[in-house]
Structure 1
Amino acid sequence: MKYHKYIFALLLLIFCINSFGSHKAYVSGPNAKNGILDLRNSSLNTKIPLNGEWFFYWNQLISPGTENFKKGTIVDFPFLWTNYEKNGQKLPSFGYATYKLNVLLPKSNTPVRIGIPDMYSAYRLYINGIQVAFNGNVSTTKENFEPYWQYQTVDINPGTDTLKMVLQISNFVHSRGGISKPMYIGFKSVIEQYRVRAISIDLFLTGCLFMGGLFFLGLYLLGNKDKATLLFSLFCIVYSYRIMGIEDYILHTIFPGMDWYITIRIEYLTLFVGVGIFALYTRYLYIEDAYFKITRFISSMCFIFSILTLVLPPLYFSQLINPFLIVMIVCIIYTPFIYLIAYKNKRPGSFYALLSAVMLMAIFTIALLNYWHLTGPLDTIIFILYICFFFLQSLILSHRVSFTLKKARQEAELGLIAKSEFLSTMSHEIRTPLNSVIGMSHLLLKKSPRPDQIEKLDVMLFSANNLLAIVNDILDYNKIEAGKVSFEHIEMDILLISKNIMNGLKGSAGDKGIEIKLSLDKTIKNKLLGDPTRITQVLSNLIHNGIKFTKEGSVELILFAKEQTEKTITIEFRVKDTGIGISAEKQKLIFERFTQADSSTSRNFGGTGLGLAISKKILELQNSSLNVESIEGQGSDFYFIQTFEKCLQSTKIESASITISSEEDQPLSGIKILLVEDNPMNVMVAQKFLERWGAKTDIAINGLEALEMVDPKKHSLVLIDLHMPVMDGYEASKKMREIGIKLPIIALTANLPKEVEDKVMKCGIDDIVVKPFLPDELYRKVLHYVFKKQ
């Protein structure tokens, strides 16, 4: 109900404008009596219609001053002779006639002007015996006849007190003969003002419609491919012709001499086609609510009428307007009915559609009343209604596009969530069996295998680690795209990080016979604040990339301090290799995801092509950029520059030694650990490692069983999987803490630490070991928490 008051207010406004427009456009004046219009006591400060009783002479083209004027018939002007009964017979459309009127003017030295509308279908106007205006060629025969429609004006000399008007009209092409619109007289400035207003309104509306049509056509072609948008754009373009191509015939004034036979067809075609397009537009706008049979009836009839307009002569297709009014009335009733249903069903933009239907009904109603001569054109109200109608229709489509975009965004967000969940799930499912593969490979390598077995185990371990790296890359890129990457701002030793990375990749370089070098700037003396994990990831990606694409020679990591202050240092990181290099045109391509400079390289060197893309995005998120200088066949130089805050503590390249018992010493002898894991293969791998280090294990296959088995007097540590049936590791750990168990709890999970660390901390879990775990990592963490407890 909240919209009803707005609808009522709008209708009231339209009524007020209608009253004002009607008063301004049609000020009633005296009517002619017996062929004489007396305006001597009238003011010409407004336009006065030359209506009333004119003398009419059928089938006579009488020149001024002829005595035959005495034998005329009195008719009510403006007058169409079509079907007029004279001497008991109806007059045909084709023919010619003369109209005569004498006008008595008031005494005035102000210039006076007469406005002459179009007539069916050619005319000549004489005033005081002089031809002052004509359209087309008036003739008594079809052969010499030439039709044309254009607005004309005639200026009357100041001081003239009497106008003896003789109007000759002939028609041999149209179904209507004579004149249906009044001529007007008034001061020149008044008539000129009305004409300028009419031209301005028509040009403004035409421009709005045509440009609006082009806008929505562009929207359709370049964007949403919505049929409703396309149909509305076509309707606007088609209907824009009717604004300036009919009624006042502004187009004929701008381009005089246009072929009448072409323009009359376009006039009717734009009506028939426009209504058909609008019916289809209504259907596709609210396709769930529209009635297909009614739409098909309207569009089919419009199509038939359009074809007839193209093939029939004007005499016949101009008669189609009366039967077509039935189609228009059906459309006028059908459109708001569909909009009302759509509004009840709460369709997007249906409220605006309902308001626009009110505008449309008002436009067509006024048009019909004007056609039946029950009212005048009402220019002002028609102008306001058109503006309101097309503005509301634009709001409908804008709301529709906005709704579609909002829906697409929601679907995209759901898709991203689904993708993220899928990747997370797949990561977990892939990491779980990889844990067994990598774990068993390490165990077999510890059991002094034969040289041929060592080679096969190394291949298996290398392949498993490669698969793990691919999974990690995909997950990292997904997190970066989703905007879920966070950066730490903690103390780090950049020199030690660099040395550890190079030491870790020595094996890979040595296998290929490649030398790796580390060049460190001695002026870097402080520890820095940053994210050690991310800088390690970037440098590891770049160095690993260099090793992968280098067959011989070296890969070198260079750290150079470009600028230092007391608080900050700017370091340039460079990774140089003597590998295959990259051509200039492909140097930007390599930073795209899943892309390598040459499609063959993925087969020759392997990899997902995500390493550089991930590194580039990580650096961009830290206000840095990854660059490359390369010559094909000679090697590549990847570099980036990053500024860090300094710490007070100085850095040392050699790390402090950490004394840890050897695994062979079985440092966990006498220790019992509760292992909670539902996967038998993972149970076997973890159990074998723990037994190798001297520990004994109790096995629980879910969280509920672990709660029943855990015993602080017997167990020194709990290793627990997070995802298990019956009760998961989160819930079990939380309940252990609630019942007062203070044993160290280490989570074994295939999830990445960042994904679960918040939830893990809330459950009271002390640490995380990510599957597939390296034996050394599990060994160090178990040893740390067991002896810490003691």
Structure 2
Amino acid sequence: MAFLLVVCSNSQGQSLPASPLAVQGVIDLRTIDFEHQTINLDGTWKWYWQSLRKPGDPESRFEYTPLPGLWSKQTWNGKPLPTHGYATYALTVLLPPNAPPLALKIRDAYTSYRVYLNGQELAHSGIPGTSAETTTPFWLTQVKQIPKTDTLQLLIQVANFHHSKGGIYKQLTLGKADHLRFQFNRINALDFFLTGCLFMGGLFFLGLFLFGRHDVSILYFSLFCLLYSYRIVGSDHYSLHSALPTSTSWSLLIHLEYLTLFLGVTVFVLYTYSLYPQDVSKWFVTGLGSISLAFALTTVFFPPTIFSQLITPFLGLMFVYIGYAFYIYWLAARRGRPGAPYSLMSTAVLLLVFLIIILKYFQIAFPEDLILFFGYIGFFFLQSLVLSFRFAFMLRQAKEQAEEGLRAKSEFLSTMSHEIRTPLNAVIGMTHLLLQDNPRSDQKEHLDVMLFSARNLLHIVNDILDFNRIEAGKITFENLPMDPVDILQNVVSAFQTSAREKTLDLRLSIDPTFRTRVSGDPTRLAQVISNLVHNAIKFTEKGRVLVSLKVVSQTEQEITVTIAIDDTGIGIAPDKQELIFNRFTQADSSLTRSYGGTGLGLSICRRILELQNVELCMESQPGTGSRFFFTQTFPKAAPLPEKPPVDELVVENRPVSNDKPLQGISILLVDDNVMNVLLARSVLDRLGATVDVATNGQEAVDMLDSSKHRIVLMDLQMPVMDGYEATRIMRERHETLPIIAITASLAQEVGDRAQLAGLDEILVKPYNPGRLTQIILKHLNLPT
């Protein structure tokens, strides 16, 4: 604090401690080196109360009065003076003959002045008059160059009828012209620069509040910045007034000056409360805010002569406001609130800034303006750090919550998938068995409807799970040798039944120049083609659907092909063509009701292809049809042994053999779901197998007899002991018989754990009896 007072008292205008003072209206500066010094014209001036003297007027009664000084602290004829009135100040200044070009810095006075120098008007701020009607108030700081002479005769008229204070309350400074102009321009530049920073910062935080997170603390801080930005240029040095025409309403400007102070403090109180509501006394903050708001309302509804009297008590209250804020931020920092240390530091800086302002206001010390500038910069920078830290903290929390929500969603969908697939397994499996029992024609029709509906439900579940995996970034791609022609043939075969039901011609066209195998992910390629063909059939009522593969180019290492699906369906309007690739969206909301579906198929196709740097394209005309196609480059793969393509549809729909190929084979079935056990037993009984049932992993471990059982069908999610643990224990006992996982979870979700546990293959529920038969026969090395 001692250092602060030393800096404050010695920094203004580089004045020295031994500066001369005016005595009885004369100040002798003939020994002053103005190259290195500026002088404040303090001391006792001639003073003419209730007189607006002009140069050349005959001498009249005067007294000597200290300047600067308020009228309320002076007397005339020994009597105290009112704040309203008019007067003239006079001073003779003796200058050295060799002084450099000099200038006079004239600050604002309560509330208007006119300055004469050596008989000529030098400057004015407002118009001094003898009544309120003839006086025009205005506040302005000016630097005026003076003529080169050895004696200055200063005459200053001052009038006030509009403010609660009157008189010259700030120093006049005489110094080297270049230095005073530089100092004046620097102060203005700093004020406007700081105002611009605060104003733009306020707009930034306001935008952050409006378009980002609606955190009310950000709103309060933005309002505080916007309000206080006016005070930087609209008070003290009044830099803004220098840029305004002198006809600007002084009443408007002083209302803004006081209103921004009172409202700014009100908003800052609310800002503190919104930052750390757990640490603030609501009643105390309400009281502080109410007082500031009452001051602001007084400013709005009363003239300056009334509300200007509030400034002194309000400055006293400022220490209460800032002290309480300091206490709150200290408490918040102790309790580990986000950003509290920065708040604590910023409040300490603000306390120092307001201490300097009050010292300056009461004429106790005159600090260098750079001190206030950097003080303000430090305060707003630290407060910005508070909000930035808080915003980052909230974003981090939101990110963690979003990630937790994503994990919960994934777990929920995985659980729901399991719960939906489990009963679907019984529905689809039993329906297949009933269809193979030669039902009556009316029964077959009902069973077909049941199977179709169950498959549709399974397709919806698969779409949702696939999209969830893509969004979560869990989708992976294999790089295996494959034959795209086989994949296309299998997809077309699988959808022939659906096409025939709608009397559509579903065809496959293969470029005869395509005679190679390639490396890629056969599962994902089949998924994309299946979705596109399914969509084409769904939205085509008559005509055809054509699936084609055409070679675009090839080298010894790579081949580029275009795979296309053309239909003669309803088509898509040009303005809706991009919309259909959005998730859960179709070209027309009415299509959902007409054609059904989740609207995920095309979105999944596009994302799967995009992850391989391939673009899904579309051409469509309403009422004519659509063409979906993509061009992909595949590395050529080494030829594989030729084998006839496996038609999955034929495998899945193949009736359970009545020849009992599993006659004499004992199978251990491990499943806790009664319906799934019933389905599996029905299928295995038809195959001639003997079935032992365990309802959990522990029972399976206890029941397994390798001399009797030839294969184990193992559910994975069971009470007591799950299928992974049971399989692991069996393998540790050196059991080598095939163990097949039958699970409602996706193969991608359980693949790694299943492999580590020692499972030989995964059959995903719902399964078709034909598929179960095929897997059992394969692992027992029996003919299929």
Greater alpha carbon shift after TM alignment, 732-741 vs 78-87: 78-87
Counterparts of 1:645 and 1:172 in 2: how far apart (Å)?
A: 93
Among 707, 727, 736, the residue aligned to 1:742: 736
Aligned-partner residue type, residue 259 of structure 1: S
What corresponds to 2:328 in structure 1?
338
Match of 1:311 among 290, 295, 301: 301
Match of 1:7 in 2: none
1:472-500 CA-partner distances (Å, limit 9, x unpaired): 01100110111111001000011111111
Q: Distance in 2 between the 1:633 and 1:478 partners?
A: 33
Determine the C-alpha separation between the residues in 2 that align with 1:16 and 1:119: 25
1:640-789 superposed matches below 5 A: 640-649=630-639, 654-655=644-645, 663-787=657-781
Asked if 1 retains the 8 angstrom alpha-carbon contact of 2:532 and 2:628, the reply is yes
Provide the residue aligned with 1:418 in structure 2: 408
Matched, 1:170 2:159: yes
Q: Select 2:538's aligned residue among 548, 567, 574.
A: 548
- Note if contact 2:566-2:628 (Cα within 8 Å) is conserved in structure 1: yes
Equivalent in the alignment of 1:435: 425
The answer to whether residue 202 in structure 2 is matched with residue 213 in structure 1 is: yes
Q: 1:246-645 alignment to 2 at 5 Å?
A: 246-257=235-246, 258-645=248-635
Give 5+ residue unaligned stretches, structure 2. Answer: none
Cα offset for 1:290? 1.8
CA deviations over 1:415-448 (Å, ceiling 9, x no partner): 1000000000000000000111111111112222
CA contact (8 A) 1:666 1:693 kept: yes
Q: Distance in 1 between matches of 2:272 and 2:25?
A: 51
Deviation larger for 568-577 or 257-266: 257-266
Confirm or deny that 1:63 pairs with 2:54.
Answer: yes
1:315-364 per-residue CA deviation (whole Å, 9 max, x = no partner) reads 11111112222331211211111111111111111111111011100011
Amino acid at match of 2:192: L
SS in 2 for 1:181: coil
* Structure-2-length-normalised TM-score: 0.96
Alpha-carbon contact 1:525-1:651 (below 8 Å) kept = no
Q: Secondary structure at the match of 1:414?
A: helix
Taking the aligned partners of 2:748 and 2:328, their CA distance within structure 1 comes to: 54
Cα distance, 1:62 vs. partner? 2.9
Q: Is the 8 A contact 2:333 2:344 kept in 1?
A: yes
How far apart in 2 are the matches of 1:399 and 1:21? 39
Q: Is contact 1:495-1:652 (8 Å) kept?
A: no
Q: Could you tell me how far 1:141 is from its partner in structure 2?
A: 2.4
Contact kept in structure 2, 1:671 and 1:716, CA below 8 Å: yes
Summarize the Cα distance change of 1:419–1:25 in structure 2 as closer, same or farther, 3 Å threshold: farther
Asked whether the 8 Å contact 1:32–1:52 carries over to 2, the reply is: yes
* Other structure's SS at 1:505 match: helix
Separation in 2, partners of 1:519, 1:181: 96
Displacement after TM superposition at 1:103 (Å): 0.8
8 Å Cα contact 1:170-1:177 kept in structure 2: yes
Give 3-state SS (helix, strand or coil) of 1:761's partner.
helix
Q: 1:110 to 1:737 in 2, by over 3 A?
A: same
- For residues 718 and 597 of structure 2, the distance between their equivalents in structure 1, rounded to whole angstroms, comes to 33
Q: Partner amino acid for 1:763?
A: A
2:225 counterpart of 1:236? yes
Q: Deviations over 1:656-678 (max 9, x none)?
A: 89999972211111010111111
Judge conservation of contact 1:104–1:162 (CA < 8 Å) in 2.
yes
CA contact (8 A) 1:114 1:186 kept: yes
Code of the aligned partner of 2:706: P
Please give the TM-score of this superposition, normalised by the length of structure 1. 0.95
Would the aligned equivalents of 2:13 and 2:38 in 1 still touch at CA under 8 Å? Answer: no
CA offsets 1:711-768 (integer angstroms, 9 cap, x no match)? 0011111111101111111111111111222221111100010000100011111111
Alpha-carbon separation, structure 1, partners of 2:552 and 2:664: 55
Question: Retained in 2: the 8 A contact 1:275–1:302?
Answer: yes
Q: Give the drift of 1:231.
A: 1.0
**1:83·1:92 contact (CA, 8 Å) conserved in 2?**
no
RMSD: 2.1
Report what 2:45 is aligned to.
Answer: 54
Q: Distance in 2 between matches of 1:327 and 1:55?
A: 37
Distance 2:641 2:561 in 1: 15
Q: Percent identity?
A: 48
Tell me which amino acid in the other structure corresponds to 1:633.
G
Q: 2: distance between equivalents of 1:481 and 1:433?
A: 27
Look up the equivalent residue of 2:665 and give its one-letter code.
I
Gaps of 5+ in 1: 1-10
Give the letter aligned to residue 647 of structure 1: A
| 1:188 equivalent among 162, 174, 177 | 177
Letter aligned with residue 661 of structure 2: P
Say which SS state the counterpart of residue 44 (structure 2) adopts: strand
Deviation per residue, 1:540-577 (Å, 9 max, x gap)? 11111111111111111110000000010000011111
How far the C-alpha of 1:596 sits from its partner, in A, is: 1.4
Q: Kindly indicate whether the alpha-carbon contact (under 8 Å) linking 1:559 and 1:572 is maintained by their aligned counterparts in 2.
A: yes
Aligned in 2, Cα 1:651/1:221: closer, same or farther, shift over 3 Å?
Answer: farther
Q: Distance in 2 between the 1:538 and 1:505 partners?
A: 14
CA distance in 1, matches of 2:388, 2:331: 20
**Residue 157 of structure 1: CA displacement?**
1.6
Q: Does 1:95 align with 2:85?
A: yes
The DSSP-based 3-state class of the residue aligned with 1:275 is: helix
How much has 1:63 moved relative to structure 2? 3.1
**Partners in 2 of 1:656 and 1:422 — Cα distance?**
35
The 3 A distance-change label for structure 1 pair 345 and 399 is same
Q: Please state how far the C-alpha of 1:230 moved relative to its aligned partner.
A: 0.9
Contact 1:59 / 1:97 at 8 angstroms: preserved in 2?
Answer: yes
Residues 17/77 of structure 1: CA separation in 2 closer, same or farther (3 Å cut): closer
Q: How many residues align?
A: 776
The CA distance in 2 between the partners of 1:20 and 1:733, in whole Å, is 87
What CA distance in whole angstroms lies between the structure 2 residues aligned with 1:18 and 1:538? 77
Q: CA deviation at 1:198?
A: 0.9
Q: Deviations over 1:561-619 (max 9, x none)?
A: 00000010000011111111111111111111111112222222222111111111111
Q: 2:191 aligns with which of 182, 202, 207?
A: 202
Distance in 1 between residues matched to 2:10 and 2:700, nearest whole Å: 88
**What is the letter of the counterpart of residue 218 of structure 1?**
G
- CA offset at residue 406 of structure 1? 0.9
3-state SS of paired residue (2:72):
coil
- 1:386-423 residue CA offsets vs partner (Å, 9 max, x unmatched): 11011111111111111111111111100100000000
> How far did residue 140 of structure 1 move?
2.0
Q: Secondary structure at 2:639's aligned position in 1?
A: strand
Pair 1:573–1:656, CA change in 2 (3 A): closer
Please list the CA deviations of residues 46-104 of structure 1 after superposition, one character each: whole Å capped at 9, or x if unmatched: 321001121222222233355536x4322221121114234442110011112121111
CA gap of 1:650–1:105, structure 2 versus 1, over 3 A, is same
- After alignment, is 665-674 or 317-326 more displaced? 317-326
